[in-house]
Amino acid sequence: MADLSPFRGPREQAQFITTYDSIMRNWPIPFEEKDATTTFGETHIFASGHPSAPPLVLLHGASATSAMWSPIIAALSGTYRCYSIDTITDANKSVATQPVHGITDYVDWLQQIFSALGIAKARVAGLSYGGWLGALLALHAPDCVSHLVLLTPAATLAPLSIQFFVRMLTPSFLRSPFLMRRSAQWLSATPNATSDPTVELIVLNFMSCRPFRREMIPPTVLTDDDLRRISMPVTVLIGDRDVIYRGGPKAALARAQEFIPNVRTQLLQGANHMLTLDCPEALVAQISGALA
Nearest Cα residue to 276 out of 188, 201, 192, 214: 188
Domain presence at residue 205: no
Domains in the chain, number: 1
Phi-psi category of residue 161: left, alpha or beta, with phi > 0 → left and psi -120 to 50 → alpha: beta
Q: What secondary structure letter does DSSP report for 205? A: H
What pLDDT score does 159 carry?
A: 97
Domain presence at residue 243: yes
Domain presence at residue 109: yes
CA atoms within 13 A on the CB side of 53: 16
C-beta pairs of 283-289 under 8 Å, 24+ apart in sequence: 283/72, 283/151, 283/237, 284/72, 284/75, 284/76, 286/235, 286/237, 287/72, 287/76, 287/125, 287/149, 287/235, 287/237, 288/75, 288/76, 288/79, 289/235
What pLDDT score does 111 carry?
A: 98
Domain presence at residue 198: no
Domain presence at residue 170: no
Please name the residues in contact with 233: beta carbons below 8 A apart, sequence gap of 6 or more. Answer: 146, 147, 148, 262, 264, 290
Q: What burial class does residue 269 get, using C-beta atoms within 10 Å of its C-beta: 0-12 exposed, 13-18 middle, 19+ buried?
A: exposed
Alpha carbons 156 and 1: distance in angstroms, whole number: 30
Domain presence at residue 135: yes
- pTM greater than 0.95: yes
CATH of the domain at 265: 3.40.50.1820
Nearest Cα residue to 5 out of 219, 216, 170: 216
Domain presence at residue 273: yes
Alpha carbons 192 and 175: distance in angstroms, whole number: 21
What pLDDT score does 211 carry?
A: 83
Please name the residues in contact with 35: beta carbons below 8 A apart, sequence gap of 6 or more. Answer: 42, 43, 44, 45
What pLDDT score does 254 carry?
A: 98
What pLDDT score does 48 carry?
A: 98
What are 235's strand-pairing partners?
149, 264
Domain presence at residue 184: no
For 195, phi then psi, to 5°, come to -75, -15
The SS3 of residue 211 is: coil
What pLDDT score does 3 carry?
A: 72
What pLDDT score does 124 carry?
A: 98
Specify whether 273 is catalytic.
yes
What pLDDT score does 257 carry?
A: 98
What pLDDT score does 2 carry?
A: 45
Q: What is the pLDDT of residues 119-157, one digit of tens each?
A: 999 999 999 999 999 999 999 999 999 999 999 999 999
- Which of 44, 60, 147, 273 is flagged as catalytic? 273
CB 79 within 8 A of CB 52: no
Please name the residues in contact with 220: beta carbons below 8 A apart, sequence gap of 6 or more. Answer: 103, 132, 155, 156
Q: How many CB atoms lie within 10 A of CB 278?
A: 22
Q: Give pLDDT < 50 ranges for the chain.
A: 1-2
Range of the domain at 272: 2-160+210-291
- Strands 32-38 and 41-48: what pairing? antiparallel
